[in-house]
Every structure is written in C-alpha cells, then in structure tokens.
Structure 1
Amino acid sequence: MRRVERAVVIGGGIGGLTAAVALHRRGARVTVLERADALEPVGAAISLAPNALRGLDVIGLGDDIRALAAWQGDGGLRAPSGRWLSRTDAAAAEERFGGPLVLLHRATLVGHLAARLPSDAVRTAAAAHVVDPGDPGRPARVGTPDGELEADLVVAADGVRSAARRALFPDHPGPVYSGFTTWRVVIPLPGVEFASHETWGRGRIWGTHPLKDGRVYAYAAAVVPAGERAPDDERAELLRLYGDWHDPIPAVLAAARPDDVLRHDVHHIAEPLPAHHRGRVALVGDAAHAMPPTLGQGGNQAVEDAITLAHHAEDLPAYTAARLPRTAAITRRAVGVARLNMATGRFGTVVRDHAIAALSKAAPALFLRSFDDIAGWRPPQRPYASQRTTAGEG
C-alpha cells in the first residue's frame, strides 16, 4: 500500500484518537468522525497499565499521563466481609513492570489526546460508515452526512457494535453477551479513607479506587440476564446487591446519586476475526477484539492497536499479524478470569477464595508474574514520528 497521506478515523474514543494522533505525527492529514455531539466517552474511568503507557510515550503523552497516577500503596483482593484474600503493593508492581498503573477519568485521557490534533481534525455529530474498503489500487471510501470521503487508510474504532466490522466481515457472528452487567460511578468521597481494592463475592464483584483529583472510582459487576434493568433506579439496585458489603462500599453508595451510576451489559468477541483489516480499513479496539473488563485491558489494547497500526500504516497485513494473536489470547484470558471472579456456586467460591489466600501467602509474587506478558509489551521499533517532530507539537 502506498504511503498514507490521508486518513479517516471512525470513532472518537481512546483507540480512535490515539491512532489519529499517531498518524498525524507521521505526517498524515487526519479526520476523526464521531457520531456523538461531543467527545464525551461512555464510561467513567480507565486503568492504564505500563504497556499502554509505553504506547503513549510514542506520541509524547506517556509522562503527562503518568503524572496523574494516584499512589495506591497496599491494596488487593477482599471478600465481602472485608477479609483480605491477597495483598498487592503499587511500588512492587511499578518496579516489576517499569512503571505505574494509572487510573484516570476517560474524559481526561480523551482531552489530552484531542489536544494533540489540529483544531479542525475532529468532526462531531458525524455518523460514518464504510462504503468501499478499497484495495492497493484504489482508496477506501467513507460515507458521512456531508458526503463521501476518500482515504489511503480508514481506522475503524467504532466500538463493540462496530458497523465497520460487519461491513468488512459480514459472516462473522459478532459479539456475545459475557454473562454479566456492570455499574460504574465517579464521585467525591471526602473524609473517607480506604485501601484500593477489588472484592469478589458469589456472582458479584466490587472495586473502589482513588483518583488523582480526589474523587473515587467505583465499579461493580453481577451475573444477571442480558437486558435487565432496575425496577426503580440503579443506585437502589446497587444498595440491594452490595449494601451489606464491607467499608467503604456503604459510604460510596450513600454518597452516590442515581444519576451518577452508569450501567452497561458486557459483551465480547468470542470468535476472533479472520483479520483486523480488509483492503485499506483497519479495525482498532473493541471493534476488533472486544473483551470482558476482568483484566482491565480493553482500553490498553486499543492504545497498543493504535500505535502498532500507525507503525504499519502502509502494511496492514503486518498490523494484523502483530495484533490478532495477542488480542485473541488476552481476550481468552479475560473470559477465563470472568469465569473465576464471577463464579456463582457456593462451594466453588469458597474453594476459590481459600486457594487465592493460600497462593498469596505462599507465593506473593505469583499474581504479578501472571501479568508479565501483558504489561511487558513494547511498541514496535523505530522509526517513530516522535523522533522527528519539532518542539511545540504538544
């Protein structure tokens, strides 16, 4: 494929914007088409692991995001009673993986990414679809409300329900329900001290973590049929499910308002796609490999995709070769973790909790080692646009 001079990105989320910035830094003219009226990402917070932060280094953003890390100290995994099943140390994790785990609001990351694009690069209220994926001899074409755009490269970052994926691979079965729903909330919680934690119950989990700006990010998940909603409001549903769990969960629920709570069913792509590209169109993030959030890697893998795609922008088969095996393996692992932490049987959860507690005492570094191959990812080798950019480009 010839050099990418004109790129169109469908979707203004984390993966799409990261790809747009990376391609812009390589000299491409980039247009981002976002169907929403504003760049207001769905969801509350995102956890960026060292693998994604190394990717952001390529576009000059890694250190800015690392500076937003909230020191979490000792934390870990708990039972609903409050008993610690395993303990983790943020300093030990940072030393092992060569960087911190940064938890920040998705809107903060989106804002940092958008600020590194030209002011006219992002078009909101611009629903888009692939008209023609193109081939080595002709450009791809994208339909918009204002007419068609041609591009040397189209980045399809349009999420788990990706229309671009369906257009490229109409015979693929698409995403499946992961078996559970999630709730998320970001609120101030003054005067409440707690250790960062995730808590596993029977078919339910809860997590509470501090953000750098003083707010608290809490999330929950429960095994329920797809499409269910609370008969009153989602805060009331959380009170029914988690109101008698350990501190600070009751304090979070007391401080939250019904409008603060987001609820979404979880879906993932169980059958990997045959490729992450077709013609001149490349799929990024959830459009390519939606996965359960149980490893905290959905957004991280989207960043990896974007940086790798920019590196292989003129060789999309190389992009697929670099990304499909890795993302398929991480998706399988995330599904496996979901079976473990969302287990519903009484006997099974008792065995699970005892095994975790025993392993934590006998081999405390085991949990960190299990994450080595994920957090240890390195971006493709040079040349990088970031090595050639002049001062003042963000």
Structure 2
Amino acid sequence: MMLQQQFEHAIIVGGSLGGLMMGLALSRSGYAVTILERADSSLRNGAFIRLHTKPYSNSEIERELSNLASNGNNNVEAWSAIQERLLNAVAKEPGITLQHHTPIVSIGQNESSAWATSEKEQTFKGDFLIGADGYRSIVRRYLSPDKPFADYAGYLVWVGKVEKKLLQKKDWKKRQLSNAYFNDSAAGTLTTAMMPGIEGRTNPGQRWIDFCWFDHPHNQLLSELGVLKDGTTQHSLYGEAIPVSLLEELSQTSQAHWSKEDDAILQIAIKDRSLIGAPVNEYIPNILSKGRIAMIGDAAHTMSPMSGAGFNDSLDDDTVAIMDAIKKYPNSIINALSEYQIRGLDVARQDVLAGQGFNRSFGCL
C-alpha cells in the first residue's frame, strides 16, 4: 500500500546491491527514486554471497527482496546473478531512474531538500538522500568528516570465476550446485562454489566455479602500485595491472598449498588474468544519519567478507530498517532517518567488530 507521505523523491548515491535494494523498496512504497552510479552496467566478476533464505521480519519488502536475491531459496548466489536480477527488477519499476557513469563529488542539504552533485556539475535534488556508495563513500565524508575513510584490514581477497567445462569433471562431481566449500592452509583461506552460468543455466558444461582466496599481506607491493596510500585503499587490483612477479608467486603458492582441484581453478584464472585483488577494509561507524541524509551498506559498516553478513545486513539492518522507520514517521523524513540511526548504530558497530578478530589475526595488524 502506498504510504501517505509529505516527502516524495529519494536520491540514492550508489547503484550496487544495497543501492538497488533500497531503490526497489522505496519505489514499491510509492516514492520516486533516482539512483546514481559511477560505474557502467556491466556485471561484477566472481565472488558469491551467502544468503539468509528465511525472512528475519514480517516485512513484505524483505520477503520480496530476499526471494529475488536467492532466486527462490538458494543459500549461495553469485554476486553477478543477484546484481543482474536486481537490475532487471529496477528496469521494470516506473518510479526509478537509474543513471550510470555518474561519479558524485559532493552532497549537501538544507531545511527542505538534499542533493548530490556529479563531477560534470549536474545537481540531483530530492527530499532525502541515501548513501550506498561503498567503502570509499562520498556520503560518509559528508556525514562523518572526522572519520571519512575505511581502514585497510591488512590483506587481499582474490575473486574470480572459471568455466567448469575447463576443469576435469571427476574433480567436481561431488560438489553441490550453489553450496560454498571452505579450505584453510598456510596460503590463507579459500572458498569455492559451483554456480549457475550465463542466464542461470545449470546444465553440465554451462556452470561456473566462483572463488574467493583470502590471501596474506602484500602491503609493500600494494603501496608501490598505488592501491594503498597512507593506509587507505584507493582501488582494487585488476588482472592487467597485476605484476607478472605477483602472478608467478600466486601460481606457486596455489600449487604448493591447495588441493589439485582447487589449484586447477586458480591456475586458469591466474593465466588468464581474470582475477581481481580486492583489499579488505573495515569501518566502524559513529553516525548513520544527519538530517535528510543517511548511509547504508559498506558506506555505513564495512566489514570482513568472512563474516558473511554484508549483504544480509544491507537488506535486514539497512533497507528494512529504513522502511520501518519511514512507516513510523511518514510525515518527517528527519525523524525517520534519526530513528534508523538510533535503532541501527549499535547493531552496525557490533557486526563490524565481529569480523575484526579475523582481520587482526589474518591481516597481521
């Protein structure tokens, strides 16, 4: 049922999973939504997400989004598959405008509105603004200028995927579709999952093997490459930018420490340079909202991916929490976002702290 509200237009900075879910939730409750995303619409390579398949509240939007993300009831889903389904759902929503290639450089607010300004000097104004712009959030820099950046946790996670048909069938016939498998060694922690292929195809020869390799520090090299600057992550390390010496080291380490079947996956990705090295970051928030502006997802609470909680928190503790707060205060977005902060700040802090033990021991900080 459409809410009776005095505020009608939401600006969302960031069109990744959290921003797309927030946009769908607001649109389906009667709001006009503009989502601003700096990147293009291409799907993310590799990585998979462990999902809650049962609703954590009585929220209708939680059930809808949880079902959409899990494709019915899958415990594990490829990041790109969730992204694709959310993008398709957004495209069907007449109340949402999604604009790619729109890096935001500043945001602001006054008594009646909030806005975001792009690097092309376009200004997008709404009644309120939600920052879902990741661990390098520009919205966070506005809300928390004394603590604007996430901290590098001290290690990388290599993510990627390979076609199962490139691997020997006998090595993978015991692996179940959409289930994650974990291995530990002196080389770190490796998680793998056999996932549906293009357009969700599950027939033999059409599946993908996704992997996440939590690798030990390469801090000096990352600094030399500009990935790290003054202890702050600047960007991820993509295939073509990975030095040959590091690829050789990864190949040797994989061969020495992982099983034959797991090593086969990594060797293909290393040879093809189809892997991404993502520095792991963490951010413990002191604030979630101010006036007409709030932040969600990695912008609000960046945590170790080993916690397996990032996506689920973005749905349950962020999207659903904001919608519940708006229902409580349908005529005051300032009161609604303040309610979101009051209820969610301690939860967000505890979730990040829960993953810090792994970060501290594994990242050798």
Same fold by TM-score greater than 0.5: yes
| 2:285 equivalent in structure 1 | 273
Alpha-carbon shift at residue 273 of structure 1 (Å): 2.5
What are the within-5 Å matches in structure 2 for residues 181-330 of structure 1? 181-190=156-165, 191=169, 192-193=171-172, 194-195=174-175, 196-202=180-186, 204-213=188-197, 214-226=207-219, 228=221, 231-232=243-244, 235-244=247-256, 245-256=258-269, 257-269=271-283, 272-304=284-316, 305-313=318-326, 314=333, 315-330=336-351
Give the secondary-structure state (helix, strand or coil) at the position aligned to 1:316: helix
Structure 2: which 5+ residue stretches go unaligned? 198-206, 223-241, 327-332
Shift of 1:343: 7.7
Question: Could you tell me how far apart the structure 2 residues matched to 1:263 and 1:154 are?
Answer: 31
Distance 1:300 1:238, change over 3 A: farther
Q: How many residues matched? A: 307
CA distance in structure 2 between the partners assigned to 1:141 and 1:324 by the alignment: 24
- Deviation (angstroms), 1:234: 5.8
Give the deviation of 1:47 after TM superposition: 2.3
After superposition, what is the alpha-carbon deviation per residue over 1:267-295, rounded to whole angstroms, capped at 9, x for unaligned? 111xx322201111110101001111111
Q: Counterpart of 2:66 in structure 1: which amino acid? A: G
Change (3 A) 1:56 1:126: farther
TM-score, scaled relative to structure 2: 0.76
Q: Which residue of 1 aligns with 2:146?
A: 171
Is 1:116 aligned to 2:130, yes or no? no
- How many Å separate the matches in 1 of 2:163 and 2:245? 20
Q: What's the TM-score, normalizing by structure 1?
A: 0.70
Are 1:45 and 2:16 matched, yes or no? no
Q: Deviations over 1:4-58 (max 9, x none)?
A: 3000110000110100000001100001011113254476322223477877853
Whether the 8 Å CA contact 1:227–1:265 is kept in 2: the answer is: no
Gap runs ≥5 in structure 1: 70-99, 345-394
Query: Aligned partners of 1:36 and 1:21: how far apart in 2?
Result: 19
Shift of 1:3: 3.6
Question: Structure 1 residue 307: deviation in Å?
Answer: 2.3
Is the deviation greater in 152-161 or in 141-150?
A: 141-150
Change (3 A) 1:4 1:259: farther
Residue by residue, what CA displacement relative to the aligned partner does 1:184-240 show, whole Å, maximum 9, x if unpaired? Answer: 111122313154421122361111222134211111112214363553076534322
Structure 1 window deviating more from structure 2 (282-291 vs 58-67): it is 58-67
Matched AA of 1:209:
A
Q: Percent identity?
A: 22
Q: 2: distance between equivalents of 1:209 and 1:40?
A: 18
The alpha-carbon deviation at position 130 of structure 1 amounts to 4.1
SS of the residue corresponding to residue 273 of structure 1 reads coil
Q: Distance in 1 between matches of 2:349 and 2:39?
A: 29
SS at match of 1:287: helix
Aligned to 2:62: 58
**Cα-Cα RMSD:** 2.7
